[in-house]
Structure 1
């Protein structure tokens, strides 16, 4: 993909997010979809489920990138790995949305996200890790079905936990 295409997609994504997120915040406040912010002294109410707006823009841009690639002379290649990553992101987003409205339980929050990452194992074409002072380490199926899904699960949970921490992601 050309650098100018990437810059354009990132810029449009940023602008759309800056438009959509405040609208969602306003609508959610009006409808009472708020939670108590326990990290503030005054325990104010803040809108919850902010991931909806971000996922909306994310999938909208993915769709636009696909469509625009067919009609304009910009080269946007979307690989099987890209599509699978979109599926995994969608699964995490859907699970997060369900969890916002229904308590899915601790065990589900720990184990299900691990399996959401499994589709990546079937499209990844590498299973080697390069470690400093050790060199290349071929981990084979262990990497594809244990290390990679664990990594995706941990990173997504860390982002999820810390983004809501004190409202910093909004």
Structure 2
């Protein structure tokens, strides 16, 4: 069995980047501003779908079992049942969808942009309804605390991720 070490190393790197991105947390309400979602989507732009989803799954498992890798150094399975649980769980389908759309051959700027926008949309489509349910608030309140304050930052993170991915891809070979 000849398995390349490169995908494992790249996945470990993304697990570390997602974890570090979560450490830089700016509290602005029940959902903090973090960089972890940028690294989740960047993994989707650079890694094949199975590897992108796998590294996100390992990251989530690390946090659920108690390693302090979630926003602000928190952890535990209880985070799933809190206000940010939907955002955390959304990372799996967001990374997968981003990787599938972005593809591995003939990288196109348009496909990268579509992939990352849909990946970010998945994060909000899981996160905001979960936040609404957990906090028992109206849709307008859930959007006001779980999406609207983050939109400008989300656009900046998406632009940065696409630029970084397009620079790194020639160096990352599978």
TM-score range, shorter chain: 0.3 to 0.5
Report the structure, 1 or 2, having the larger helix content.
2
Relative contact order (alpha carbons < 8 A, sep ≥ 6): 1 or 2 greater? Answer: 2
Query: Rg larger in 1 or in 2?
Result: 1
Normalised TM-score (structure 2): 0.40
